[in-house]
Chains A and B, each alone.
Chain A
Amino acid sequence: MNAPHTPNTYRSGPDENGRFGMYGGRFVAETLMPLILELEQAYEAAKADPAYHAETAYGLKHYVGRPSPLYYAERLTEYFRDKAAASGLSGGAKIYLKREELNHTGSHKVNNVLGQILLARRMGKKRIIAETGAGQHGVATATLCARYGLECIVYMGAVDVARQAPNVFRMQMLGATVVPVESGTKTLKDAMNEALRDWVTNVADTFYCIGTVAGPHPYPAMVRDFQSIIGKETREQMQELEGRLPDSLIACIGGGSNAMGLFHPFLDDPSVEIYGVEAAGHGIPTGLHAASLTGGAPGVLHGNRTYLLMDADGQIKDAHSISAGLDYPGIGPEHSWLHDVGRVSYLSATDEEALEAFQLISKLEGIIPALESAHALARVAELAPKKPQDHLMVVNLSGRGDKDIPQVAEILAAR
């Protein structure tokens, strides 16, 4: 592959064909093609309509509870400064947490779902379908469908239904129908296949609410736009708190929506270092991981070209992660492009490292993070001590860990 040249801006994508460089696109069955073209038109019209912006802004403030705080994690900062000092270093970045876990429904997912549900209403769609892995996107979708009186069907791999029982119950309480997916490997990718099969069958009245920055154009760009509220607020809040831009951003990546939301408003600020953290599962060399960029190659799945975990025949491999929300063999196409052009550094964290970070943040800050977010925090442990004390580091605390407590308790009890 040719080395891509440095663009004038990192924020202009996608092009009219839905491409970020070679990634993205519209790789869908003909039956769906008119639907995604209709969606693209409806989204463009909504973007130009002040009434739509006012409606989403109102919902974000009064229903979701935004803005989410940008919180100075003082004890965590001190902890890493002490660690730096112990190894003879004078550093230790000042760590801020972007508190997306305080949103209604407990994660960043709701930012996107609100935008899509309000769009579905504009389009006159009455039936909402969604896929979910850990259940956070499913819960957010079920919540907003309850709020707006829409029918909600959530596809969830049978394996995930078993390991995320509390979220299944939450969705049912909210009036959604949760369909356990028994096909393929019974995880998130199969849930997405099944949602696409539903959509291809129920074309007239159904809106597919995708939970991450992946899928056919316009989803990667649209979901990114909805999640960019995270980065926009961070910019303003840091300006207020410190009078300047942050020096680095860190977020976990499954499909990559919380990361893209934080990163995108900063892509053209060269002084800001940006790190995405993929799930390394049992470790990249074991092959049992969910790190598409670190351990995958470009391919085509679920409507877009992007880095995928697959074998030499192009068959998709299972992803492995302690975190159901990161357990996906692909990644949003814009991340693939940012990886190739080198604007964002993509790292990874193992199950074990995430588990350690999960406990550390709980004890030091009184915040129980989602296992997904704990992957980002795990890399902070390595990066923060190496940075000077005036380095401002923002970690996206994308979700809260209540849903993970039974799983973590079980793992720790077995030790």
Chain B
Amino acid sequence: MTGMTRIQTRFAACAAEGRAALVTFVTAGDPDFETASAILHALPEAGADIIELGVPFTDPMADGIPVQLAGQRALKAGQTLKKTLAMVEAFRAAEHDTPIVLMGYYNPIYVYGVERFLSDAKAAGVDGLIVVDLPPEEDAELCLPALAAGVNFIRLATPTTDDKRLPKVLQNTSGFVYYVSMTGVTGGSIANYDAVGEAVARIKRHTDLPVAVGFGVKTAADAAAIAKGADGVVVGSSLVERVRLSLDAQGKATEKTVSAVTSLVAELAAGVRSAARAAA
């Protein structure tokens, strides 16, 4: 690593292979701390290039039902932000190269204390943050302190982010840009792949950062379709649904829980690799 961040290095490596990166979202502590830790450790080998680790919150207003339920399972099992950082630290001790991005809402971080959080997150091996309810208008809260602390702050761009607003959104973004494929919550369905491709091209005219696309990517075929035009493909809801469907009647993890997730990750990884990249 010659001054490159883990996220830059990973996107560069995927680009060198002529493919998009697979970004997998799972919720920290879902369905319990031990099982979620086991899932996390198994993700890189299953084919995840970058891991988004969801920080559970009681009021996830940008999430659809699958991610809402995953957060509720985790909170019920006693997950906290502190435990999530401990989970990352244990992962990082075993796996050096796969970037971890924490994704969630501002309040748990605000209550933890921004300075203390950034220092603990950096020490644990967190590479970036996606905080849904912090638009550029609130950059002074966490984005600028994160950049100063050497933690990437990954911004969401959406179909409502027009060309006039895009520079503002991109200004303090680092690591990559997360393009939200639709107006809606996580777990919806993509109606128009062409529109997504056009939007990615539009963003790329404004930035050199990699652009990953998320919201509505569920299957290997979806991943392959998106991977044609994007630098990364984010899959979340269908993975946490795999967790839910693997649980027993009491909602506890079973021996199938980890493999239920990793088997889908492997399919998605194959999907990403099957897509011929559009010429850059």
**A residues within 8 Å of B by Cβ?**
17, 25-35, 183-184, 189-190, 192-193, 196-197, 200-203, 297, 299-303, 305, 308, 310, 312-316
Contacts and interface: CB of A to CB of B under 8 A. Distances in A.
Contact of B160 (A25, A203, A316): A203
B59 A313 contact: no
A26 B156 CA distance: 15
Given A184-B58, A200-B62, A201-B183, 19 more contacts: A25-B137, A27-B106, A29-B61, A29-B135, A30-B158, A30-B161, A33-B136, A33-B137, A33-B161, A183-B65, A192-B61, A300-B110, A301-B59, A302-B59, A308-B107, A314-B57, A315-B56, A315-B57, A316-B107
Q: How large is the interface on B (under 10, 10 to 19, 20 to 34, 35 or more residues)?
A: 35 or more
A34 B107 contact: no
A300 B108 CA distance: 9
Nearest to B169: A30
Interface string B167-194: 0010000000000100111001000000
Contacts of A315: 56-58, 75, 108
Interface string B225-264: 0000000000000000000000000000000000000000
Contact of A27 (B81, B133, B158): B133
B59 A201 contact: no
B252 to A, nearest CB: 22
A69 B160 CA distance: 46
B165 A34 contact: yes
Contacts of A310: 107, 111
B133 A300 contact: yes
Contacts of A308: 107
Interface in B173-222: 180, 183-185, 188
- Of A25, A189, A297, the most chain B CB neighbours within 10 A belong to A25
Contact of A29 (B132, B159, B162): B132
Nearest to B180: A31
A314 B111 contact: yes
Contacts of B109: 314
Contacts of B156: 29-31
A359 to B, nearest CB: 36
Contact of B133 (A28, A192, A316): A28
B138 A31 contact: no
Contacts of B165: 33-34
Contact of B61 (A26, A299, A302, A312): A302
Nearest 8 A-B pairs (CB), nearest first? A314-B111, A314-B108, A201-B184, A31-B158, A313-B80, A196-B61, A314-B107, A193-B61
B157 interface: yes
Contacts of B82: 313
Contacts of B157: 30
Contact of B112 (A28, A197, A314): A314
B257 to A, nearest CB: 23
B116 to A, nearest CB: 13
B155 interface: yes
B68 interface: yes
Contacts of A197: 61-62, 64, 185
Contacts of B137: 17, 25-26, 33
- Of A28, A32, A33, A314, the most chain B CB neighbours within 10 A belong to A314
A30 B135 contact: yes
B147 interface: no
A193 B59 contact: yes
Contacts of B134: 27
Interface string B39-76: 00000000000000000111111101100100010010
Nearest to B184: A201
Contacts of A203: 160, 183
